[in-house]
Amino acid sequence: MAVLSIVALTVPAMVVPAVVGAILAAFASGIGFQRRTLGARRDLERERSRASLLEAKLDSQRNAVDLLAEGLEIAVFLCDARPIILYANRKATEMFKFENPVGRTMLAVTLSYDLESLVTACAQTREKQHAELTFAYPDERTALAEAWMEPEGDRVFLSLYETTDLRRLERVRTDFVANVSHELRTPLTTIRAMAETLQDEPGNRELLDRYLAKIIAEVDRLSLIANDLLILSAAESNPVRKHGCNIAEVFRSVVQQLGPKAHDKGLKLEFTGPSDLVIEANQAQMSQVAINLVDNAINYTSEGSVEVVVQPEGDQVVIMVRDTGMGIASEHLPRIFERFYRVDKGRSRSTGGTGLGLSIIKHIVEAHGGQVNVQSALNQGSTFFIRLPVGHASEPEISEA
């Protein structure tokens, strides 16, 4: 106001409104400027918060991709054309037991010229490359390797899908088929040779009686093998149907059933255990386990005793079958649960063994979530231990279809 009154004293009256107007206009434009600045600031703030939202979204997507890559059971590498590793996921570092592969060459980390050539070929041709490779380091493994280029860039993506277990299973299967064929061919060859001899000498009564008895024995052997193969195959392919199974009763009745056989060999056969011990298990399969274990103990013991103990231990049941027989030398122990593995083929044959008994036991016990172990030394007897979870034991099973 002071400014206005001085101006009023010195300036003619008509000039005053123009000056005031100008001042007010200046004020008004100042306010407009201030408003515009405020608006721009608000826009800026809005953009900023949108940008930080986008950044957070991008971060969470990046985290999800990282988590995905880290969780994969496939090894994933990203590398440049040389090829130097730019990224490796968890499986990749585990597979080659290399702590921090980033910045190293593919060859230094994997020690595989084949893998290095595959990646280089992909970078040079820009075409997808794939091959099944064998790695010698750090353990022997096989994997399906696939390399492809970044669509508009120079980086190479590489995935390795491990096939070690798959190939091992294939080998086990082919070995198994070869073993079965061999096991079947041996008695079949014997039967054929005897039948041919009898055909050549039709009048020889003594030979006829002797060979017919052998032919019947070989046919029985074939039936035993076929039977054990069916049991093994059923145990492998069907999920276990568990019910309340009185495991103590199962072993007690098998001991009773095999009592006469032990008695004939002059062996003492004893059972120790509670009268009732119900676990969640398949009763028919448990009977099979009991028969195979106790029968083996009797077969491979020429004097002394066979002792069967069933006892609860926490949330498990421990079954022990101890004999005073021939025992098993330490070099055979790791293999006796393999299909058709026998320490002494001749002895196994003479006792009617098929070489499948222990693998059936192992399969059934493991399918029930249990474990089977053996302690043995040559000429000092053997003890087989089975541990089974009690499970949510329900009502005892009434009958097994």
Residues that bind ligand ADP (CB under 6 A): 292, 296-297, 300, 323, 325-328, 336, 341-344, 348, 353-359, 382
Contacts (Cβ under 8 Å, ≥6 apart) of 248: 273, 274, 275, 276, 277, 310
Nearest CA among 315, 292, 295 for reference residue 306: 295
Dump the DSSP string for 11-30: S-TTHHHHHHHHHHHHHHHH
Indicate the residue among 148 and 341 with the shorter CB distance to ligand ADP. Answer: 341
N-terminal to C-terminal alpha carbon distance within the chain: 111
Q: How many CB atoms lie within 10 A of CB 158?
A: 24
Nearest CA among 389, 343, 338 for reference residue 363: 338
Residue 340 Cβ vs ligand ADP, minimum distance, rounded to whole Å: 8
Give the tokens for residue 361: 């036991």
Residue 400 Cβ vs ligand ADP, minimum distance, rounded to whole Å: 23
Q: How many CB atoms lie within 10 A of CB 373?
A: 11
Residue 192 Cβ vs ligand ADP, minimum distance, rounded to whole Å: 24
Q: How many CB atoms lie within 10 A of CB 64?
A: 10
Indicate the residue among 194 and 328 with the shorter CB distance to ligand ADP. Answer: 328
Indicate the residue among 76 and 319 with the shorter CB distance to ligand ADP. Answer: 319
Residue 241 Cβ vs ligand ADP, minimum distance, rounded to whole Å: 24
Residue 216 Cβ vs ligand ADP, minimum distance, rounded to whole Å: 20
Indicate the residue among 66 and 344 with the shorter CB distance to ligand ADP. Answer: 344
Q: Which amino acid belongs to residue 382?
A: S
Indicate the residue among 75 and 358 with the shorter CB distance to ligand ADP. Answer: 358
Indicate the residue among 106 and 356 with the shorter CB distance to ligand ADP. Answer: 356
Measured between alpha carbons, how far is 81 from 78 in angstroms, rounded to an integer?
10
Residue 329 Cβ vs ligand ADP, minimum distance, rounded to whole Å: 10
